[in-house]
Amino acid sequence: MLQTPSQTVGPYFAYGLTPKQYGYDFKNLTTNILESVLEGKEIITIKGKIFDGENKVIPDAMIELWQNDGEHNFFGRFGTGSESDSHFAFQTIKPNSVDGQAPFVTLIVFMRGQLIHSYTRFYFSDETELNKQDLVLNSVPAERQNTIIAQKKDSCYEFNIYMQGENETVFFEV
Amino acid sequence: MIESNDSLLDIEVQPSKLDIGYTSTILRSPTKPMILLKKSIAERTGPLFHDFNLGILDHDLTKNSVRNGEPIGERIVVHGTVRNEIGEPIPNTILEIWQANAAGRYVHKVDQHNAPLDPNFLGTGRCRTDEHGNYKFYTIKPGAYPWGNHHNAWRPNHIHFSLFGNQIISRLVTQMYFPGDPLLEYDPIYKAVKAKGRELLISKFDLDITEPNYALGYRFDIVLRGSQATPFENR
């Protein structure tokens, strides 16, 4: 059967997909705080912004986060329209390494101006050894690998997403 | 690298990332080649929401935010079946829906179209497919509205859908349109879909599910990418 075609999420998704975050009276399916049920695991924060082809910050995108290392799985969602500087942020735990591969987290990017969502993933800058031998990272041209490594800064990991340009983030065909 | 039962996006029906008719794709669509990913457990699975309790009125947008009366507009019931690419129904999967009201106005604060809000209509809801992959929800037929893409641009009547399926690759966000809408042929978002796929986005009027003296029925069947009808087991 033919796949139902994708259409853009548009600019007005917030009251349907991220209602609580934007102050609408409708229950959320999920949030950006994903760690609450786990004790004894280090909580990490991922923070970033999304930039368009003119390097302008995008204030009307939605990011979904998915991680599954076989032990824990989490799904989160956050729009870039509620914070004054249009950043997104998630609290979660760092996934385990599976089969010797470097830990990573999948992100899906939706926005007005995207007819179909984009899949990316980020690795962790403090996993140098595992990153070096990771099959997926090594399938990415060397000069682009840094675009999918979240940088550890003080209390969080920073991961900015560039839709276009010299530093365009690596997006995956999954 | 790709297993035989994996499927990729069908480029014969799916829109291209860049479509100059839809001007905001120009600065927002990726331009570099996608990297083909060897699937790991993270791609074979996805959120299932089995523990998420739907509210009893989540599937009825005509009732789920009533304040002082019924929402204005033409009441409709939308139903359909969610399947995978080999035609198997996908049971127990969540659909999220959102839309403009009958006057063509979204509740979203960014929408400044000069049309009235309806105090009794939020315009969002959820439902879940049953064991046969069928879903159903009630709503008000959304109105058309103007947008800034080009001179005199109007979006055809549509309802936004968000679905998960059983894998992260089956994730779908789309829009359902209505039969016979004269705005479709002028709409760059609809027309960004390849000709072979466009009909798939238009619901069909369905007298069989039309409820006498209550609501007009429309059928909108959905096919998610992939061939996995049931969730992949972690272990």
What local confidence, expressed as pLDDT, does residue B109 receive? 86
Active site residues of B: 106, 145, 155, 158, 160
CATH assignment at residue A136: 2.60.130.10
Q: Is residue A154 part of a domain?
A: yes
- Quote ipTM for the complex: 0.96
What local confidence, expressed as pLDDT, does residue B153 receive? 98
Q: Is residue A153 part of a domain?
A: yes
Q: Is residue A84 part of a domain?
A: yes
With a cut of 90, say whether residue A155 has pLDDT above it.
Answer: no
CATH assignment at residue B169: 2.60.130.10
Q: Is residue B12 part of a domain?
A: no
Q: Count structural domains, chain A.
A: 1
Q: Count structural domains, chain B.
A: 1
Q: What six digits make up the tokens of A23?
A: 């102050």
Query: Which range marks the domain in which residue A49 is found?
Result: 31-162
Q: Is residue A171 part of a domain?
A: no
Using DSSP bridges, classify how beta strands B216-219 and B75-83 pair: parallel, antiparallel or unpaired.
parallel
Q: Is residue A16 part of a domain?
A: no
> Tens of pLDDT along chain B (235 residues)?
344 456 889 999 999 999 999 999 999 999 999 999 888 899 999 999 999 999 999 999 999 999 999 999 999 999 999 999 999 999 999 999 999 999 999 999 888 899 999 999 999 999 999 999 999 999 999 999 999 999 999 999 999 999 999 999 999 999 999 999 999 999 999 999 999 999 999 999 999 999 999 999 999 999 999 987 788 865 4
In this structure, chain A runs to a length of: 174
Q: What six digits make up the tokens of B63?
A: 């009732």
Query: Which range marks the domain in which residue B45 is found?
Result: 23-223
Chain A segment 38-67 residues within 8 A of B by beta carbon are 52-54, 56, 58, 60, 64, 66-67
Chain B: give the shortest CA distance to residue A148, in Å: 12
Q: Is residue B234 part of a domain?
A: no
Q: Is residue A5 part of a domain?
A: no
User: Residue type at B109?
Assistant: K
Angle at A128 between CA A122 and CA A132, to 5 degrees: 85
Angle at A92 between CA A91 and CA A96, to 5 degrees: 155
